[in-house]
Chain A
Amino acid sequence: MTDAAYTQSGTARADAQDARMAALKGWARSVAIGTLGLGILGALWALGGWYIAQTPGMRAFSQLAPVPTFERLWVMIQRGEIWSMSAPSLYRVGWGLGVAIVIGVPMGILIGRLPWLRDLSNAPFQLLRMISPLSWMPIAVMAFATWDSAIIFLIVVAAVWPIMFATAAGVRRIDPAWLKVSRNLGANPLHQLVYVILPAIAQDILTGIRLALGIAWVVLVPAEYLGVSSGLGFAINDARDSLDYARLGATVLVIGVIGYALDSLCLLAIKRFSWLRSDT
């Protein structure tokens, strides 16, 4: 190796170190800001709790303040209740989201690729999309044999639209040159799907899934108010009925934390599958 090469690799190592330091700093900064934001939220919560405790007519709800809530949460974690109330909900959301993906992604690709199908489906889909998923509840209850499948149906109805529309939008943004080049290189339609279309729109699909997950998680709780005797929605209803407000607060907290965690997972997946360079 020449001297120049040594110097070069030395510089490269220094550059890499600098880059790592910069990344670490950026990470520390975002963690600090995130913590601060959560701190502000906690302070507002404490303030609300204090106000409730001060207000004569509302004293019954004082258990909703941070301290009783966290005490109760700790007990629930120790007893394993958190897991047993979340697992059925996660199961339902998982199934609902899975079915929504299986329907939404292929439909989105077709709508994105076929202008006539896009025109044909636009009005009915926009109309269906605007119907609150919860308004399907009576129909779902009649149509499905089990409560579980009725709830999964409601989640599918809520989650399929963002996945479908995000996929279709991604397909329409595909550079036509990529399809021409791949055809030129001998790709058949399956090759084009696997090597061009799906990788090109992976981030759009995941963005759609992220939106869908947010909606599904929101729809889940009211959907679980009815019929079932498990899950986070049931736990909320149950705590209210038994006037156990600390438990209510802890369950609300669990819903928020799990939702946040799932959303972060989606974000990670989007970062992993995104090929767009944002730093140019």
Chain B
Amino acid sequence: MTAHWTFKTSQPLNAAIALAQTYLPNMPHAAAQGVPTAVRRGAHVQVDGVQHRYPGMAQNCLEHLNFQVESGQIVALVGRSGCGKSTLLHLIAGLMQPGAGGVYIDGNRVRSTCPRWVVMFQAPSLFPWMTVSQNAALGLRFAGRKAEIQRRIPALLEMVGLTAFAERNVQDLSGGQQQRVALARSLATQPDLLLLDEPFSALDAFTRRALQQDVRRIAKDLGLTVVLVTHDITEAAIMADRALIMAPDPGRIVTDTMLDPGPDRHRDSPAFEAERARLATLFEATA
């Protein structure tokens, strides 16, 4: 398992590290204080014949799910409310076991939760009796990696722009700030895979846009694999490399498409708008 944490020094990866470091002006001090800025290999996810039914339900909630997510890829799962997106994310995270089929992360069957993959839920669900840094450090504490807390948490809070709030109670924070604490908390254990369940839907448009770009940038800098659940086509186009469109009753994947919204993913650029419109059309046609 430690293999995932060793920084590779092969030729293409050196180039990638150099590329990642060009982003560093956006993340002051992160390199100096121990946030891993070198590119790691994100997890590879394979969903193999997954089917699921909730007890007492007549119909399967999910059926015939087969797909893979490449290492370092950001995939958006889009679909209408109730089509089983959250259920799928819970299955991938090992919070539930599928009725049939299996989820494999880096080739190993997922049977329980693991600090290597972390879900960020729709609500931040911070612990109100703790400060911002205590909340962020919780994963490290559970993993018995207390020595890393001092080193990593200040850098992470810097990265999400909450250094000034480190010792404040989380109840003093705005919704967007709380969501950023949840992000720092999810990243603290250096996961290879980030599972995001509509993490920004409760936020105002400005904060949401800022966080959408931040999370994509951070994920790319760290080389994380990301599965993002959303019902917002624009959010998918801003954040994801690829979109999986789901249809309900039973929940299944009907479209699998790569996204190319232009190099800067700027929402006013024609390339972005064209890609967003294409995705919207696909969504209307299939979901």
Contacts and interface: CB of A to CB of B under 8 A. Distances in A.
B157 interface: no
A105 interface: no
Interface string B109-134: 00001110011010101011110000
A180 B143 contact: no
A177 interface: yes
Interface string B54-85: 00000000000000000000000000000000
Contact of A183 (B95, B123, B130, B189): B95
B29 interface: no
Contacts of A276: 128
Interface string B141-173: 111000000000000000000000000010100
A275 interface: yes
Interface string B76-106: 0000000000000000010100000000000
Given A191-B142, A277-B171, A184 B118 contact: yes
Interface stretch (A71-79, A123-131, A142-150, A193-201): A193-201
Interface string A167-210: 00000000101101111111110010001100110100000000
Given A191-B142, A195-B138, A195-B141, A183 B113 contact: yes
A201 to B, nearest CB: 11
Contact of A177 (B113, B123, B138): B123
B41 interface: no
Nearest to A177: B125
A268 B188 CA distance: 35
Given A185-B142, A186-B115, A188-B142, A180 B95 contact: yes
Contacts of A186: 113-115, 139, 142-143, 189
A237 to B, nearest CB: 46
Contacts of B118: 184-185
B185 to A, nearest CB: 7
Contacts of B121: 177, 180-181
Contacts of B143: 186
A177 B124 CA distance: 9
A interface, over-half SS: helix
Contacts, number: 58
A175 to B, nearest CB: 7
A183 B141 CA distance: 13
A125 B38 CA distance: 60
Given A177-B123, A182-B138, A199 B113 contact: no
B171 A182 contact: no
Nearest to B126: A181
Contacts of B130: 199
A277 to B, nearest CB: 5
Interface in A250-264: none
Contacts of B115: 185-186
Contacts of B95: 180, 183-184
B246 to A, nearest CB: 22
B129 A184 contact: no
B177 to A, nearest CB: 15
B138 A185 contact: yes
Contacts of A191: 141-142
A175 B115 CA distance: 22
B125 A178 contact: yes
A196 B127 contact: yes
A184 B113 contact: yes
Given A181-B121, A183-B95, A200 B129 contact: yes
A223 B275 CA distance: 81
Contacts of A178: 125, 127
A199 B118 CA distance: 23
Contacts of A277: 128, 171
A200 to B, nearest CB: 7
B92 to A, nearest CB: 12
B128 A275 contact: yes
Contacts of A200: 127, 129
Nearest to B182: A181
A196 B126 CA distance: 11
A5 to B, nearest CB: 12
Contacts of A185: 115, 118, 138-139, 142, 185, 189
B189 A184 contact: no
Nearest to B125: A177
A185 B184 CA distance: 12
A183 B118 CA distance: 10
18 contacts: A177-B125, A178-B125, A180-B125, A181-B121, A183-B113, A184-B95, A185-B139, A186-B115, A186-B142, A186-B143, A186-B189, A187-B138, A187-B142, A191-B142, A195-B142, A199-B129, A202-B129, A277-B171
Interface of A: 175, 177-178, 180-188, 191, 195-196, 199-200, 202, 275-277, 280
Interface of B: 93, 95, 113-115, 118-119, 121, 123, 125, 127-130, 138-139, 141-143, 169, 171, 185, 189
Closest 10 CB pairs of A and B: A275-B129, A177-B125, A185-B139, A186-B115, A186-B142, A199-B129, A181-B125, A187-B142, A275-B128, A184-B119
